[in-house]
Chain A
Amino acid sequence: MIRFDDEALAGLPLPPNCPEPGTCVRYEQPEPGLVVLVLDPPHRKLAVLDLPLMRDLALAIMRLEDDRALRGVVITGRAPLEFALGADIEAIGSIDDPALVERFIRLGQDLFARLHKMENGAGRRVRTVAAVGGPVPGGAFELSLACDRIVLADDPRSRIGLPETKLGILPAWGGSQRLPRRVGVTTALDAILKGTLLPARPAYSKGFVDRLTPPEYLVRAASDVAMGRASCPRRGRGRVGGVLVDRNPLALAAIFVMTRKTVMAQTKGRYPAALDVARLVCRAPLTPLSVGFVEEARSAAVLATGSVCDNLIGIFKLMEGAKKLGVLPGGGRPAPFAKGAVLGAGVMGGTIASLMAGKKIDTRLFDISPEALDAAQLDHRADLTKRKRRRRIRPNEHDAALDRLNTTGDLASLAGAEIAIEAVAERLDVKRELFGSLAAALPTDAILCTNTSSLSVDAIFDGLPAPGRFVGLHFFNPVRQMPLVEIVRGSETSDETVARVAALAVALGKTPVVVKDVAGFLVNRILGPYMDEALRLYDCGVAPERIDRLAEAFGMPMGPLALLDEVGIDIAAHAAQSLHQAYGERMSPCTSIRGLLDEGHLGKKAGRGFYAHSGQGRKARRSISPVLATHAPPSSGEGGSLSDEQVTEQMMLAMLNEGARALEEGVCASAAELDLATIFGMGFPPFRGGLLRWADSVGAREIVANLERTAGRVGGRPGGAARFEPAAILSGLARTGGSFHQTGC
Chain B
Amino acid sequence: MIQLSKDGPGRSIVLAAGLRTPQARAGGFFKKEDPGHLASRLARELLNQARLDAGEIDEVITGCAGPPQTQANVSRVIALRAGVPERVPARTVARNCASGMEAVTSACASILAGEGDTYLCLGVEVMSGYPLVFGPQMTGLFERAFTARSPLQAAAAWLSFRPSFLKPRVALMEGLTDPISGMIMGNTAELLARDFGISREESDTFACESHHRARDARERGRFEREIHPHLPLGAKRGARSADNDDSIRDQQTVAALGKLKPYFTKPDGTVTVGNSCGVTDGATALLVMTEERAKELELTPLARIRSWAWAGLDPARMGLGPVFATAKALDRAGCELSDMGAIELNEAFACQVLACARAFESDAFAERHLGRSKALGELDLARTNPNGGAIAIGHPVGATGARILLTTACELEQSDCELGLATLCIGGGQGGAVVLERTTS
Given known pairs A399-B37, A403-B41, the reply for A374 and B241 (CB within 8 Å) is yes
A374 touches B81 (CB 8 A): no
CA separation between A382 and B229, bound complex, in Å?
A: 20
Chain B residues with Cβ below 8 Å from A400 are 81
Answer yes or no: A257 CB below 8 A from chain B CBs: no
Q: How far is the CA of A375 from the CA of B83 in the complex (A)?
A: 23
B interface, by DSSP: helix, strand, loop or mixed? loop
* Alpha-carbon distance A484/B76, docked complex (angstroms): 39
Q: Which of A381, A399, A406, A415 has a CB less than 8 Å from the CB of B44? A: A406
Tell whether A377 is near chain B: CB-to-CB under 8 Å. yes
Interfacial residues of chain B within 210-263, with CB under 8 A of chain A in the complex: 229, 231, 233, 235-241
Asked if A56 is an interface residue, CB under 8 A from chain B, the answer is no
Residue B49 at the chain A interface, CB threshold 8 Å: yes
Residues in B neighbouring A370, C-beta threshold 8 A? 229, 240-241
A413-B83 Cα distance, complex, nearest whole Å? 16
Contact present for A377 and B231 (CB under 8 Å): yes
B19-65 residues with Cβ-Cβ distance < 8 A to A are 36-37, 40-41, 44-45, 48-49, 51
Which A residues from 144 to 165 make CB contacts under 8 A with B? none
Among A374, A382, A415, point to the contact of B231 (Cβ < 8 A). A374
Chain B's closest residue to A402 (CB) is B37
Say yes or no: A362 contacts B235, CB within 8 Å.
Answer: no
A586 vs B256: C-alpha distance when bound (angstroms)? 77
In the complex the two chains form, what is the Cα distance from A377 to B230 in whole Å?
A: 11
B355 at the interface (CB under 8 A from A): no
- Given A370-B241, A371-B240, CB of A378 within 8 Å of CB of B231: yes
Q: How far is the CA of A378 from the CA of B238 in the complex (A)?
A: 8
Min Cβ gap B134→A in Å is: 24
Count of A interface residues, CB-CB < 8 Å: 21
Scoring A residues 357 to 379 as 1 if CB is less than 8 Å from chain B, else 0, what string do you get? 00000101000001101110110
Residues of B within 8 Å of A, CB-based: how many?
Answer: 22
Q: In the complex the two chains form, what is the Cα distance from A135 to B237 in whole Å?
A: 39
By a CB distance below 8 angstroms, the chain B residues around A378 are 231, 235-239
Given A374-B239, A399-B37, verify A406-B81 contact (CB < 8 Å): no
Given known A377-B231, A403-B44, contact A415–B51 (CB-CB < 8 A): yes
Contact of A374 among B49, B233, B240 (CB under 8 A): B240
Q: When each residue 387-407 of chain A gets 1 if its CB lies under 8 Å from chain B and 0 otherwise, what string results? A: 000000000000110111010
Q: A253 CA to B238 CA in the complex, in Å? A: 49
Instruction: Tell me if B82 counts as interface (CB < 8 A to partner A).
Output: yes
**B83: A residues at CB distance < 8 A:** 362, 403-404
CB distance from B337 to the nearest CB of A (A): 40
Shortest C-beta distance, B11 to chain A (Å), equals: 31
- Docked Cα-Cα span, A416 to B229, in Å, equals 21
- A403 and B82 in contact (CB under 8 A), knowing A377-B231, A416-B48? yes
Name A403's contact: one of B37, B229, B236, B237 (CB within 8 Å).
B37
Which residues of chain B are near A364, meaning CB under 8 Å?
Answer: 48
Taking a contact as CB atoms closer than 8 A, the residue among A382, A403, A416 that contacts B81 in the complex is A403
**In the complex, what distance in Å separates the CA atom of A416 from the CA atom of B41?**
17
CB nearest neighbor in B for A395: B70
> Which residues in A have their C-beta under 8 angstroms from that of B45?
406
- Which residues of chain A (388-440) have a CB below 8 Å from chain B? 399-400, 402-404, 406, 408, 413, 415-416
B residues within 8 A CB of A381?
Answer: 233, 235
Chain A residue nearest to B77 in the complex (CB): A399
Contact residues in B for A373 (Cβ distance below 8 Å)? 241
A403 touches B40 (CB 8 A): yes
A375 to B240, CA, bound (A): 8
Q: How far is the CB of B225 from chain A (nearest CB, A)?
A: 14
Complex interface: chain B residues within 8 A of A377 (CB): 231
Roughly how many angstroms separate A382 CA and B233 CA in the complex, as a whole number?
10
Q: Hey, which bits of chain B sit against chain A, CB under 8 A?
A: 36-37, 40-41, 44-45, 48-49, 51, 81-83, 229, 231, 233, 235-241
Please, could you name 15 A-B residue pairs with CB atoms under 8 Å apart, sorted by A? Answer: A364-B48, A370-B240, A374-B231, A374-B240, A374-B241, A378-B231, A378-B238, A381-B235, A400-B81, A403-B37, A403-B41, A403-B82, A406-B44, A415-B51, A416-B51
A-B complex: 5 closest residue pairs judged by Cβ atoms:
A403-B81, A377-B231, A374-B240, A374-B241, A413-B48
